[in-house]
Amino acid sequence: MSTPPPKVNPNRVLFVNDDEDWLTLLKMRCEKEGIQSDISVNPIETLKTIQENQYSLVVVDLRMPKISGKEFVELLRNKVTTPIAVMTGYTKEDAEEMKVATELMASNLITGVFPKTTALGLVSLIKHYM
């Protein structure tokens, strides 16, 4: 028996972040803006199931406890060609996180960096991206 093809979900975003409250807020904000979204607090499980759906964009937090955002992006890039953006709470005090994001962009592993400001601000950026 063959594996069914992935479900095509145009204009659908996947958010991967360990902060479930933040993800819920993002999902609600996306719904208000007419953007379909899925959320995942478990990046390891997401790597196993990512090919079941197709996304217009995957937005990944750089700081996650089970696997770093950088490691996740590198593994994800081997599975899908979907555009990937990282979400970072980067501040001037956290230059290392921005350095990682810049390296990922330079390696063509990601296509953008979104600041983790407000849910409305992030969803507005995503709308222009899609």
CATH of the domain at 35: 3.40.50.2300
Q: pLDDT tens for residues 13-23?
A: 999 988 899 89
What is the average pLDDT score of the chain?
Answer: 78
The pLDDT of residue 9 is 54
In the block, residue with structure tokens 């983790």: 116
Provide the β-strand partners of residue 60.
16, 86
Look at residue 102 and tell me if it is in a domain: yes
Residue 115 has pLDDT above 90, yes or no: no
- Domain assignment of residue 124, yes or no: yes
Residues near 25 by Cβ (< 8 Å), separated by ≥ 6?
Answer: 119
User: Which pLDDT score, from 0 to 100, does residue 37 have?
Assistant: 92
Q: Is residue 1 part of a domain?
A: no
What are the φ and ψ backbone dihedral angles of 40, each rounded to 5 degrees?
Answer: -145, 130
Whether residue 2 lies inside any domain: the answer is no
Number of domains present in the structure of the chain: 1
Q: How far apart are CA 20 and CA 16, in angstroms?
A: 9
- Which pLDDT band holds residue 114 (cuts at 50, 70, 90)? low
Q: What are the structure tokens assigned to 110, written together?
A: 């990601």
Residue 67 lies in a domain: yes
pLDDT on residue 42? 92
Average pLDDT over residues 83-96: 69
Q: Tell me if 22 is assigned to some domain.
A: yes
Contact residues for 121 (Cβ-Cβ < 8 A; gap 6+): 115
pLDDT of 108 > 80? The answer is: no
For the chain, give the percent of residues with pLDDT over 70.
Answer: 69
In a domain, 58, yes or no: yes
What is the domain range of residue 65?
Answer: 7-129
